[in-house]
Structure 1
Amino acid sequence: MGLMTAKLLNSIKGFLFNSIKTIVLFLHGSGPAAIGRLEYRLRPARTSWGGPMNGQAGRVKLCRQIFAELPPAAIVETGTFLGTTTEFFAEFGVPVYTAEVKPRYHAYSDLRFRPVSDRVHVVLADSRVFLRQLAADPSFPKEKIFFYLDSHWYSDLPLLEEIDVIFGTWKRSIIMIDDFAVPGEPYAHTDDGQGADLNGEYLDALGRTDMFRFYPSLPASQETGYKTGCIILCNDPETQSHLSKLETLRPG
Protein backbone atom coordinates (compact mmCIF):
# COMPACT_ATOMS: atom_id res chain seq x y z
CA MET A 1 0.00 0.00 0.00
CA GLY A 2 1.43 3.37 -1.01
CA LEU A 3 1.86 6.28 1.36
CA MET A 4 -0.83 8.35 -0.37
CA THR A 5 -3.32 5.47 -0.18
CA ALA A 6 -2.63 4.94 3.52
CA LYS A 7 -3.11 8.65 4.23
CA LEU A 8 -6.37 8.66 2.28
CA LEU A 9 -7.71 5.66 4.20
CA ASN A 10 -6.74 7.24 7.51
CA SER A 11 -8.49 10.45 6.50
CA ILE A 12 -11.65 8.54 5.58
CA LYS A 13 -11.58 6.63 8.88
CA GLY A 14 -11.11 9.86 10.79
CA PHE A 15 -13.96 11.53 8.94
CA LEU A 16 -16.31 8.61 9.56
CA PHE A 17 -15.35 8.40 13.24
CA ASN A 18 -15.89 12.11 13.78
CA SER A 19 -19.17 12.05 11.84
CA ILE A 20 -20.54 9.16 13.89
CA LYS A 21 -19.34 10.81 17.09
CA THR A 22 -21.06 14.05 16.11
CA ILE A 23 -24.33 12.24 15.33
CA VAL A 24 -24.24 10.33 18.63
CA LEU A 25 -23.56 13.49 20.63
CA PHE A 26 -26.30 15.35 18.75
CA LEU A 27 -28.87 12.64 19.37
CA HIS A 28 -27.86 12.26 23.01
CA GLY A 29 -28.29 15.96 23.58
CA SER A 30 -31.44 16.44 21.54
CA GLY A 31 -33.61 13.54 22.65
CA PRO A 32 -36.12 11.23 20.94
CA ALA A 33 -37.45 13.83 18.49
CA ALA A 34 -34.00 14.20 16.94
CA ILE A 35 -33.79 10.41 16.54
CA GLY A 36 -37.14 10.42 14.77
CA ARG A 37 -36.06 13.17 12.38
CA LEU A 38 -32.81 11.33 11.61
CA GLU A 39 -34.71 8.08 10.99
CA TYR A 40 -36.90 9.86 8.48
CA ARG A 41 -33.90 11.39 6.69
CA LEU A 42 -32.25 7.98 6.45
CA ARG A 43 -35.36 6.03 5.48
CA PRO A 44 -38.27 8.28 4.45
CA ALA A 45 -40.28 5.55 2.72
CA ARG A 46 -40.31 3.19 5.71
CA THR A 47 -43.46 1.04 6.00
CA SER A 48 -44.50 -0.29 9.39
CA TRP A 49 -46.43 -3.45 10.28
CA GLY A 50 -46.45 -4.70 6.69
CA GLY A 51 -48.62 -1.89 5.34
CA PRO A 52 -51.72 0.08 6.39
CA MET A 53 -54.01 -1.48 8.98
CA ASN A 54 -51.25 -3.86 10.15
CA GLY A 55 -50.87 -5.22 6.63
CA GLN A 56 -54.43 -6.57 6.73
CA ALA A 57 -56.07 -6.60 3.30
CA GLY A 58 -59.44 -7.49 4.79
CA ARG A 59 -59.35 -4.49 7.13
CA VAL A 60 -58.38 -2.19 4.27
CA LYS A 61 -61.34 -3.48 2.23
CA LEU A 62 -63.63 -2.98 5.22
CA CYS A 63 -62.54 0.66 5.55
CA ARG A 64 -63.04 1.30 1.87
CA GLN A 65 -66.57 -0.08 2.09
CA ILE A 66 -67.38 2.08 5.10
CA PHE A 67 -66.09 5.21 3.37
CA ALA A 68 -68.05 4.40 0.20
CA GLU A 69 -71.27 3.90 2.16
CA LEU A 70 -70.71 6.76 4.63
CA PRO A 71 -68.18 9.29 3.29
CA PRO A 72 -66.53 11.00 6.28
CA ALA A 73 -66.12 14.75 6.66
CA ALA A 74 -62.75 14.08 8.30
CA ILE A 75 -60.69 11.19 9.66
CA VAL A 76 -59.19 11.21 13.15
CA GLU A 77 -56.47 8.74 14.15
CA THR A 78 -54.90 8.15 17.55
CA GLY A 79 -51.50 6.45 17.45
CA THR A 80 -49.69 7.71 14.35
CA PHE A 81 -46.50 5.64 14.79
CA LEU A 82 -44.68 5.98 11.43
CA GLY A 83 -47.74 7.13 9.50
CA THR A 84 -48.35 4.07 7.32
CA THR A 85 -52.08 3.90 8.05
CA THR A 86 -52.22 7.71 8.08
CA GLU A 87 -50.99 7.71 4.49
CA PHE A 88 -53.78 5.29 3.56
CA PHE A 89 -56.36 7.61 5.14
CA ALA A 90 -54.93 10.55 3.22
CA GLU A 91 -55.93 8.86 -0.06
CA PHE A 92 -59.60 9.68 0.54
CA GLY A 93 -59.27 13.41 0.03
CA VAL A 94 -60.66 14.56 3.38
CA PRO A 95 -58.75 16.21 6.24
CA VAL A 96 -56.82 13.76 8.41
CA TYR A 97 -55.92 14.55 12.03
CA THR A 98 -53.53 12.17 13.73
CA ALA A 99 -52.00 12.21 17.22
CA GLU A 100 -48.86 10.49 18.50
CA VAL A 101 -47.77 10.57 22.14
CA LYS A 102 -44.14 9.53 21.53
CA PRO A 103 -41.88 12.44 20.39
CA ARG A 104 -39.69 10.11 18.31
CA TYR A 105 -42.56 8.84 16.14
CA HIS A 106 -44.26 12.22 16.02
CA ALA A 107 -41.07 13.81 14.66
CA TYR A 108 -40.77 11.11 12.00
CA SER A 109 -44.38 11.46 10.85
CA ASP A 110 -44.32 15.24 11.05
CA LEU A 111 -41.56 15.27 8.44
CA ARG A 112 -43.25 12.56 6.39
CA PHE A 113 -46.46 14.57 5.99
CA ARG A 114 -44.99 18.05 5.88
CA PRO A 115 -45.54 18.32 2.08
CA VAL A 116 -49.28 17.75 2.65
CA SER A 117 -49.63 19.49 6.00
CA ASP A 118 -52.61 21.45 4.68
CA ARG A 119 -54.70 18.25 4.84
CA VAL A 120 -52.75 15.87 7.11
CA HIS A 121 -52.32 17.34 10.58
CA VAL A 122 -49.79 15.54 12.82
CA VAL A 123 -50.08 16.41 16.51
CA LEU A 124 -47.86 15.51 19.48
CA ALA A 125 -50.38 14.78 22.23
CA ASP A 126 -52.04 12.25 24.47
CA SER A 127 -55.08 10.94 22.60
CA ARG A 128 -57.53 12.15 25.26
CA VAL A 129 -56.14 15.67 25.22
CA PHE A 130 -56.13 15.59 21.42
CA LEU A 131 -59.80 14.56 21.21
CA ARG A 132 -60.85 17.19 23.74
CA GLN A 133 -59.03 19.84 21.72
CA LEU A 134 -60.92 18.81 18.58
CA ALA A 135 -64.18 18.74 20.55
CA ALA A 136 -63.58 22.31 21.73
CA ASP A 137 -62.55 23.58 18.28
CA PRO A 138 -65.55 25.34 16.70
CA SER A 139 -64.00 25.02 13.23
CA PHE A 140 -63.79 21.23 13.41
CA PRO A 141 -66.95 19.43 12.12
CA LYS A 142 -69.09 17.74 14.74
CA GLU A 143 -70.69 15.02 12.62
CA LYS A 144 -69.75 12.32 10.11
CA ILE A 145 -66.23 11.76 11.48
CA PHE A 146 -64.39 8.44 11.22
CA PHE A 147 -62.27 7.76 14.32
CA TYR A 148 -59.50 5.15 14.21
CA LEU A 149 -58.33 4.41 17.75
CA ASP A 150 -54.97 2.68 17.80
CA SER A 151 -53.12 3.97 20.88
CA HIS A 152 -53.48 1.02 23.24
CA TRP A 153 -49.93 -0.20 23.74
CA TYR A 154 -49.18 1.19 27.18
CA SER A 155 -50.43 0.53 30.72
CA ASP A 156 -52.56 3.69 30.78
CA LEU A 157 -55.34 2.67 28.39
CA PRO A 158 -57.32 5.71 27.21
CA LEU A 159 -60.06 3.82 25.37
CA LEU A 160 -63.07 4.34 27.64
CA GLU A 161 -62.36 8.06 27.95
CA GLU A 162 -61.85 8.34 24.18
CA ILE A 163 -65.25 6.78 23.49
CA ASP A 164 -66.99 9.01 26.03
CA VAL A 165 -65.49 12.15 24.49
CA ILE A 166 -66.36 11.06 20.94
CA PHE A 167 -69.96 10.00 21.54
CA GLY A 168 -70.49 12.97 23.83
CA THR A 169 -69.45 15.40 21.10
CA TRP A 170 -69.89 14.00 17.58
CA LYS A 171 -73.07 12.91 15.84
CA ARG A 172 -73.46 10.31 13.07
CA SER A 173 -69.85 9.25 13.48
CA ILE A 174 -68.02 5.91 13.49
CA ILE A 175 -65.31 4.53 15.75
CA MET A 176 -62.99 1.70 14.71
CA ILE A 177 -60.85 0.28 17.52
CA ASP A 178 -57.74 -1.71 16.62
CA ASP A 179 -56.34 -4.61 18.67
CA PHE A 180 -59.84 -5.63 19.80
CA ALA A 181 -61.07 -9.18 20.40
CA VAL A 182 -63.48 -10.60 17.82
CA PRO A 183 -65.93 -13.12 19.33
CA GLY A 184 -65.50 -16.61 17.92
CA GLU A 185 -62.36 -15.76 15.93
CA PRO A 186 -58.68 -16.05 16.97
CA TYR A 187 -57.76 -12.49 16.00
CA ALA A 188 -54.97 -10.99 18.11
CA HIS A 189 -55.95 -8.29 20.60
CA THR A 190 -54.62 -6.30 23.53
CA ASP A 191 -54.60 -8.28 26.78
CA ASP A 192 -52.03 -7.32 29.41
CA GLY A 193 -53.19 -9.96 31.91
CA GLN A 194 -54.06 -7.28 34.48
CA GLY A 195 -57.62 -6.49 33.52
CA ALA A 196 -56.92 -4.57 30.32
CA ASP A 197 -58.45 -7.10 27.96
CA LEU A 198 -59.93 -5.27 24.97
CA ASN A 199 -63.16 -7.18 24.44
CA GLY A 200 -66.90 -6.67 24.68
CA GLU A 201 -66.89 -6.89 28.47
CA TYR A 202 -64.35 -4.08 28.63
CA LEU A 203 -66.76 -1.82 26.73
CA ASP A 204 -69.64 -2.84 29.00
CA ALA A 205 -67.98 -0.77 31.73
CA LEU A 206 -69.15 2.35 29.90
CA GLY A 207 -72.74 1.45 30.68
CA ARG A 208 -73.93 2.96 27.41
CA THR A 209 -77.21 1.79 25.92
CA ASP A 210 -76.84 3.85 22.74
CA MET A 211 -73.85 2.01 21.30
CA PHE A 212 -74.14 -0.35 18.32
CA ARG A 213 -71.32 -2.85 17.77
CA PHE A 214 -70.01 -4.48 14.61
CA TYR A 215 -67.13 -6.89 13.97
CA PRO A 216 -65.33 -7.91 10.77
CA SER A 217 -67.12 -10.78 9.04
CA LEU A 218 -63.87 -12.09 7.56
CA PRO A 219 -62.53 -15.15 9.41
CA ALA A 220 -59.11 -14.63 10.94
CA SER A 221 -57.77 -17.51 8.83
CA GLN A 222 -58.50 -15.52 5.66
CA GLU A 223 -56.99 -12.24 6.84
CA THR A 224 -53.47 -11.17 5.93
CA GLY A 225 -50.77 -9.34 7.87
CA TYR A 226 -50.75 -9.34 11.65
CA LYS A 227 -54.37 -10.52 11.98
CA THR A 228 -55.35 -8.16 14.78
CA GLY A 229 -59.02 -7.81 15.59
CA CYS A 230 -61.16 -4.70 15.58
CA ILE A 231 -64.60 -3.46 16.53
CA ILE A 232 -66.69 -0.77 14.85
CA LEU A 233 -69.00 1.39 16.95
CA CYS A 234 -71.71 3.92 16.21
CA ASN A 235 -74.43 5.45 18.38
CA ASP A 236 -77.27 6.40 16.06
CA PRO A 237 -79.82 4.21 14.21
CA GLU A 238 -79.19 5.80 10.80
CA THR A 239 -75.48 4.96 10.85
CA GLN A 240 -76.28 1.51 12.22
CA SER A 241 -78.62 0.91 9.28
CA HIS A 242 -75.93 1.86 6.76
CA LEU A 243 -73.27 -0.32 8.42
CA SER A 244 -75.67 -3.27 8.50
CA LYS A 245 -75.64 -3.30 4.69
CA LEU A 246 -71.91 -4.02 4.45
CA GLU A 247 -70.86 -7.59 3.73
CA THR A 248 -67.54 -7.00 5.47
CA LEU A 249 -69.29 -6.47 8.84
CA ARG A 250 -71.41 -8.56 11.16
CA PRO A 251 -73.41 -7.19 14.11
CA GLY A 252 -72.06 -7.69 17.61
Structure 2
Amino acid sequence: MTTAVGAARRGTSAGAVLQVFYRVPRAGAVRLSDGGGPLGFDITAALQIDHLIGAYDCDGIVETGCFVGDSTEYFARRYPHLPVRTCDIDADATAVASHRLADLTNVTVETGDSAQLLPQLLSGLSRPLVYLDAHWYSSWPLARELHTVTRGLIVVDDFDIGHPRFGYDAYDQVVCGPQLVADARADLDRMWVGNPYADYPLPCLQTGRRAGRGFLTVGLPPGPLDDSPMFTPIPLRPVVMPDWSAVEALGKERR
Protein backbone atom coordinates (compact mmCIF):
# COMPACT_ATOMS: atom_id res chain seq x y z
CA MET A 1 0.00 0.00 0.00
CA THR A 2 1.44 3.37 -0.98
CA THR A 3 1.65 6.14 1.59
CA ALA A 4 -0.93 8.23 -0.26
CA VAL A 5 -3.44 5.36 -0.56
CA GLY A 6 -2.87 4.36 3.07
CA ALA A 7 -3.41 7.93 4.26
CA ALA A 8 -6.59 8.20 2.19
CA ARG A 9 -7.98 5.02 3.67
CA ARG A 10 -7.10 6.09 7.21
CA GLY A 11 -8.82 9.41 6.58
CA THR A 12 -11.97 7.71 5.32
CA SER A 13 -12.01 5.37 8.32
CA ALA A 14 -11.42 8.20 10.78
CA GLY A 15 -14.24 10.19 9.23
CA ALA A 16 -16.63 7.27 9.63
CA VAL A 17 -15.60 6.88 13.28
CA LEU A 18 -16.02 10.60 13.95
CA GLN A 19 -19.47 10.67 12.34
CA VAL A 20 -20.79 8.19 14.93
CA PHE A 21 -18.60 8.44 18.03
CA TYR A 22 -19.63 11.79 19.50
CA ARG A 23 -23.29 11.31 18.68
CA VAL A 24 -23.67 8.46 21.16
CA PRO A 25 -25.18 9.69 24.47
CA ARG A 26 -22.95 9.27 27.52
CA ALA A 27 -25.57 7.44 29.56
CA GLY A 28 -22.91 5.63 31.56
CA ALA A 29 -22.15 8.87 33.37
CA VAL A 30 -24.71 7.83 35.99
CA ARG A 31 -22.06 5.55 37.51
CA LEU A 32 -18.78 5.45 35.59
CA SER A 33 -15.76 7.46 36.75
CA ASP A 34 -14.79 8.37 33.19
CA GLY A 35 -18.13 10.07 32.57
CA GLY A 36 -19.45 7.35 30.29
CA GLY A 37 -19.59 7.38 26.53
CA PRO A 38 -18.43 4.80 24.00
CA LEU A 39 -15.10 3.17 24.88
CA GLY A 40 -14.63 5.45 27.87
CA PHE A 41 -15.03 8.48 25.59
CA ASP A 42 -11.59 7.78 24.12
CA ILE A 43 -11.75 8.12 20.36
CA THR A 44 -8.22 6.75 19.92
CA ALA A 45 -9.58 3.40 21.18
CA ALA A 46 -12.29 3.63 18.52
CA LEU A 47 -9.63 4.25 15.87
CA GLN A 48 -7.59 1.28 17.05
CA ILE A 49 -10.61 -1.01 16.96
CA ASP A 50 -11.76 0.36 13.62
CA HIS A 51 -8.39 -0.47 12.08
CA LEU A 52 -8.50 -4.01 13.43
CA ILE A 53 -12.09 -4.73 12.41
CA GLY A 54 -11.19 -3.76 8.86
CA ALA A 55 -7.82 -5.50 8.79
CA TYR A 56 -9.19 -8.76 10.16
CA ASP A 57 -12.48 -8.50 8.27
CA CYS A 58 -14.29 -9.28 11.51
CA ASP A 59 -17.63 -11.01 11.08
CA GLY A 60 -19.15 -9.90 14.39
CA ILE A 61 -18.61 -8.00 17.63
CA VAL A 62 -19.07 -9.63 21.03
CA GLU A 63 -18.98 -7.45 24.14
CA THR A 64 -19.12 -8.36 27.81
CA GLY A 65 -20.04 -5.86 30.50
CA CYS A 66 -22.19 -3.53 28.43
CA PHE A 67 -23.68 -1.67 31.43
CA VAL A 68 -26.30 0.66 29.85
CA GLY A 69 -24.97 0.28 26.31
CA ASP A 70 -22.79 3.30 25.42
CA SER A 71 -20.13 1.25 23.63
CA THR A 72 -22.76 -1.18 22.33
CA GLU A 73 -24.63 1.63 20.61
CA TYR A 74 -21.42 2.93 19.06
CA PHE A 75 -20.49 -0.54 17.74
CA ALA A 76 -23.97 -1.11 16.34
CA ARG A 77 -24.19 2.24 14.57
CA ARG A 78 -20.61 2.26 13.27
CA TYR A 79 -20.85 -1.33 11.97
CA PRO A 80 -24.50 -1.87 10.97
CA HIS A 81 -23.47 -4.77 8.74
CA LEU A 82 -22.14 -6.78 11.70
CA PRO A 83 -24.01 -8.59 14.47
CA VAL A 84 -23.30 -6.99 17.84
CA ARG A 85 -23.89 -9.33 20.76
CA THR A 86 -23.50 -8.10 24.31
CA CYS A 87 -24.26 -8.97 27.91
CA ASP A 88 -24.14 -7.78 31.49
CA ILE A 89 -24.81 -9.50 34.80
CA ASP A 90 -26.86 -6.53 36.03
CA ALA A 91 -30.48 -7.04 34.93
CA ASP A 92 -31.36 -3.37 35.51
CA ALA A 93 -28.50 -2.30 33.24
CA THR A 94 -29.45 -4.70 30.45
CA ALA A 95 -33.07 -3.55 30.66
CA VAL A 96 -31.91 0.02 30.00
CA ALA A 97 -29.55 -1.12 27.23
CA SER A 98 -32.24 -3.23 25.56
CA HIS A 99 -34.68 -0.32 25.61
CA ARG A 100 -32.26 2.25 24.19
CA LEU A 101 -31.00 -0.15 21.49
CA ALA A 102 -34.39 -1.57 20.49
CA ASP A 103 -34.32 0.10 17.07
CA LEU A 104 -30.94 -1.39 16.17
CA THR A 105 -31.74 -4.74 14.58
CA ASN A 106 -28.12 -5.97 14.62
CA VAL A 107 -27.93 -5.91 18.46
CA THR A 108 -28.62 -8.75 20.89
CA VAL A 109 -28.51 -8.06 24.64
CA GLU A 110 -28.32 -10.91 27.17
CA THR A 111 -28.33 -10.96 30.96
CA GLY A 112 -26.08 -13.26 32.96
CA ASP A 113 -22.55 -14.38 33.74
CA SER A 114 -20.38 -13.32 30.80
CA ALA A 115 -18.06 -16.33 30.85
CA GLN A 116 -21.05 -18.66 30.71
CA LEU A 117 -22.74 -16.64 27.96
CA LEU A 118 -19.67 -16.28 25.73
CA PRO A 119 -20.07 -19.62 23.87
CA GLN A 120 -23.60 -18.55 22.91
CA LEU A 121 -22.53 -15.05 21.93
CA LEU A 122 -19.61 -16.35 19.85
CA SER A 123 -21.65 -19.04 18.09
CA GLY A 124 -21.28 -18.98 14.29
CA LEU A 125 -18.53 -16.35 14.25
CA SER A 126 -15.07 -17.18 12.88
CA ARG A 127 -13.36 -13.76 13.15
CA PRO A 128 -15.06 -11.93 16.00
CA LEU A 129 -13.81 -8.87 17.80
CA VAL A 130 -14.33 -9.77 21.46
CA TYR A 131 -14.44 -6.75 23.77
CA LEU A 132 -14.04 -7.81 27.40
CA ASP A 133 -15.26 -5.15 29.82
CA ALA A 134 -17.08 -7.12 32.54
CA HIS A 135 -15.03 -5.46 35.28
CA TRP A 136 -17.06 -4.32 38.23
CA TYR A 137 -18.23 -6.91 40.73
CA SER A 138 -16.20 -9.08 43.11
CA SER A 139 -16.72 -12.17 40.97
CA TRP A 140 -14.38 -11.01 38.21
CA PRO A 141 -14.85 -13.20 35.11
CA LEU A 142 -11.86 -12.07 33.00
CA ALA A 143 -9.66 -15.17 33.40
CA ARG A 144 -12.64 -17.42 32.60
CA GLU A 145 -13.55 -15.25 29.63
CA LEU A 146 -10.01 -15.50 28.26
CA HIS A 147 -10.14 -19.30 28.58
CA THR A 148 -13.46 -19.41 26.74
CA VAL A 149 -12.47 -17.61 23.53
CA THR A 150 -11.03 -20.18 21.10
CA ARG A 151 -10.75 -17.92 18.06
CA GLY A 152 -10.88 -14.18 17.60
CA LEU A 153 -9.36 -10.80 18.26
CA ILE A 154 -9.65 -9.98 21.96
CA VAL A 155 -9.64 -6.47 23.43
CA VAL A 156 -9.41 -6.15 27.22
CA ASP A 157 -10.59 -2.87 28.70
CA ASP A 158 -9.19 -1.22 31.86
CA PHE A 159 -5.81 -2.83 31.20
CA ASP A 160 -2.45 -1.94 32.72
CA ILE A 161 -0.21 -0.69 29.91
CA GLY A 162 2.45 0.68 32.27
CA HIS A 163 1.72 4.34 31.51
CA PRO A 164 0.72 6.84 34.24
CA ARG A 165 -2.01 8.49 32.14
CA PHE A 166 -3.94 5.26 31.68
CA GLY A 167 -5.92 3.59 34.45
CA TYR A 168 -6.57 -0.10 35.00
CA ASP A 169 -8.57 -2.37 37.26
CA ALA A 170 -7.42 -4.70 40.03
CA TYR A 171 -9.45 -7.14 42.12
CA ASP A 172 -8.19 -8.93 45.23
CA GLN A 173 -4.72 -7.57 44.38
CA VAL A 174 -4.82 -9.17 40.91
CA VAL A 175 -4.07 -6.54 38.28
CA CYS A 176 -5.86 -6.46 34.95
CA GLY A 177 -2.63 -6.62 32.98
CA PRO A 178 -0.22 -8.75 30.96
CA GLN A 179 0.61 -11.17 33.77
CA LEU A 180 -3.05 -12.14 34.09
CA VAL A 181 -3.14 -12.85 30.35
CA ALA A 182 0.08 -14.87 30.59
CA ASP A 183 -1.38 -16.95 33.40
CA ALA A 184 -4.75 -17.46 31.70
CA ARG A 185 -3.43 -18.27 28.21
CA ALA A 186 -0.39 -20.54 28.32
CA ASP A 187 -0.62 -20.85 24.52
CA LEU A 188 0.26 -17.19 23.92
CA ASP A 189 3.77 -15.78 24.06
CA ARG A 190 2.95 -12.12 23.38
CA MET A 191 0.20 -9.55 23.17
CA TRP A 192 -0.15 -5.83 22.39
CA VAL A 193 -1.33 -2.64 24.07
CA GLY A 194 -2.50 0.64 22.62
CA ASN A 195 0.31 3.07 21.86
CA PRO A 196 -0.39 6.54 23.36
CA TYR A 197 2.27 8.11 21.13
CA ALA A 198 1.01 6.96 17.74
CA ASP A 199 0.03 9.67 15.25
CA TYR A 200 -3.77 9.39 15.48
CA PRO A 201 -5.85 11.29 12.92
CA LEU A 202 -8.28 12.48 15.61
CA PRO A 203 -7.49 13.93 19.07
CA CYS A 204 -8.77 12.37 22.26
CA LEU A 205 -11.13 14.77 24.09
CA GLN A 206 -11.31 12.70 27.28
CA THR A 207 -9.79 14.91 29.97
CA GLY A 208 -10.76 12.58 32.82
CA ARG A 209 -9.84 8.96 33.39
CA ARG A 210 -8.48 7.09 30.36
CA ALA A 211 -8.30 3.32 30.40
CA GLY A 212 -5.53 1.20 28.97
CA ARG A 213 -6.43 -1.61 26.57
CA GLY A 214 -4.80 -4.91 25.82
CA PHE A 215 -5.06 -6.74 22.50
CA LEU A 216 -4.46 -10.42 21.75
CA THR A 217 -5.19 -12.81 18.94
CA VAL A 218 -6.37 -16.40 19.21
CA GLY A 219 -6.22 -18.39 16.00
CA LEU A 220 -5.68 -15.28 13.87
CA PRO A 221 -2.42 -13.92 12.43
CA PRO A 222 -0.67 -11.07 14.26
CA GLY A 223 0.15 -9.02 11.16
CA PRO A 224 -2.40 -6.18 11.55
CA LEU A 225 -1.20 -5.57 15.11
CA ASP A 226 2.48 -5.85 14.28
CA ASP A 227 2.20 -3.60 11.24
CA SER A 228 0.37 -0.67 12.83
CA PRO A 229 2.07 1.97 15.01
CA MET A 230 -1.12 2.18 17.06
CA PHE A 231 -0.06 -0.98 18.91
CA THR A 232 3.00 -1.86 20.98
CA PRO A 233 3.94 -5.52 21.58
CA ILE A 234 4.48 -7.00 25.03
CA PRO A 235 6.25 -10.36 25.49
CA LEU A 236 4.47 -12.60 27.98
CA ARG A 237 7.20 -15.12 28.92
CA PRO A 238 8.38 -13.28 30.88
CA VAL A 239 6.25 -10.15 30.84
CA VAL A 240 8.24 -7.06 29.85
CA MET A 241 6.36 -3.78 29.95
CA PRO A 242 6.98 -1.14 27.26
CA ASP A 243 9.63 1.53 27.64
CA TRP A 244 7.29 4.40 26.81
CA SER A 245 10.04 7.02 26.69
CA ALA A 246 11.72 5.04 23.91
CA VAL A 247 8.39 4.53 22.11
CA GLU A 248 7.67 8.26 22.31
CA ALA A 249 11.11 9.12 20.89
CA LEU A 250 10.66 6.65 18.03
CA GLY A 251 7.26 8.10 17.22
CA LYS A 252 8.71 11.59 16.99
CA GLU A 253 11.43 10.35 14.62
CA ARG A 254 8.84 8.82 12.28
CA ARG A 255 6.74 11.97 11.97
TM-score by length of 2: 0.71
- Distance in 2 of aligned mates of 1:92 and 1:84: 14
- Distance in 1 of aligned mates of 2:107 and 2:117: 15
Query: Which of 133, 144, 155 is 1:161 aligned to?
Result: 144
Question: What amino acid does structure 2 have at the position aligned with 1:101?
Answer: I
Preserved CA contact (<8 Å) 1:178 1:228: yes
Residue matched to 2:182? 204
Identical-pair percentage: 23
Residue matched to 1:174? 153
- The 5 A counterparts of 1:1-252 are 47-48=27-28, 49-90=35-76, 91-93=78-80, 94-116=82-104, 118-134=105-121, 140-167=123-150, 170=151, 173-192=152-171, 194-210=172-188, 212-219=190-197, 223-225=204-206, 226-236=209-219, 239-252=221-234
- Distance in 1 of aligned mates of 2:36 and 2:227: 29
Question: What amino acid does structure 2 have at the position aligned with 1:179?
Answer: D
- Distance in 1 of aligned mates of 2:168 and 2:79: 27
Question: What amino acid does structure 2 have at the position aligned with 1:68?
Answer: G
Query: Higher helix proportion, which one?
Result: 1
Question: What amino acid does structure 1 have at the position aligned with 2:121?
Answer: L
Gaps of 5+ in 1: 1-43
- Distance in 1 of aligned mates of 2:102 and 2:120: 21
Question: What amino acid does structure 2 have at the position aligned with 1:229?
Answer: G
- Distance in 2 of aligned mates of 1:235 and 1:148: 13
Say if 1:154 and 1:217 are closer, same or farther in 2 by CA, change over 3 A.
same
- Distance in 2 of aligned mates of 1:121 and 1:155: 25
- Distance in 2 of aligned mates of 1:155 and 1:99: 17
Residue matched to 2:10? none
Preserved CA contact (<8 Å) 2:146 2:185: no
For the residue of structure 1 that corresponds to 2:184, the secondary structure is coil
Residue matched to 1:25? none
Preserved CA contact (<8 Å) 1:150 1:177: yes
Preserved CA contact (<8 Å) 2:115 2:144: yes
When the two structures are aligned, how many residues end up with a matched partner? 197
RMSD of aligned residue pairs (Cα, Å): 2.2
1:211 shift after superposition = 5.2
1:223 shift after superposition = 4.9
Say if 1:195 and 1:55 are closer, same or farther in 2 by CA, change over 3 A.
same
